[in-house]
Amino acid sequence: MEIAELKAIIEGLLFASGDEGITVKQLKGILNISEETVSHLIEELKYEYERIDRGIMIMESNEVLHLTTKPEHSEYYKKLLEVPQSSRMSQAALETLAIIAYRQPITKTEIEELRGVKSDRPVQTLVARSLIEEIGRKESIGRPILYGTSKDFLTYFGLTSLEELPPLPETGESEDVNQEADLFFERFNEELELDNE
């Protein structure tokens, strides 16, 4: 295999490994080449990334390699994070988020029972926006995924903990609970839309 192709594969593996990163030993095993060759290719990539026209670099921490952005460009990344992501969430996504926030941990089937409709799409949307995440598996037939809110959920809604969610009325009616929760999330959704204008 050509050196250029090996470097491209290493670059892709570094990207795909995300926050967890990858070790030289893992790269050696995946590529079936010597550790020395992997180290040499990493050094070449590091050198290439040092050029001013490149926006990424390889960082090594505790023998784990990470592909990361250059610190000298941090002001631009901060601006990106300050720009709100796409505007409003759909009503279905808001309902689903409210149910998960108040009833977590909860499975998709349980969400669908409360909403009375399929919830594949809203769950996918919320996972894609990092507002909810898989937090385990339920000890039942099929071991369905349990969902809960993420740290990004708290940040998105300006909360420091789930205890800051507005209390729901003391009632057994799940419809009332859902309506109250929907109002809370809709308020934030509208505020975000105003901020985007």
Give the residue-averaged pLDDT of 154-165.
Answer: 84
Question: 17 lies in which domain range?
Answer: 3-73
Q: Domain check: are 99 and 125 in the same one?
A: yes
* 81 part of a folded domain: no
Position with higher pLDDT, 175 vs 83: 83
Asked which of 57-71, 131-145, 161-175 is least confident by mean pLDDT, the reply is 161-175
CA distance 178 to 123: 16
Q: What are the pLDDT digits (tens) for 118-159?
A: 899 999 989 988 999 999 999 999 899 999 999 988 888 788
- CATH code of 11's domain: 1.10.10.10
**pLDDT for 154:** 87
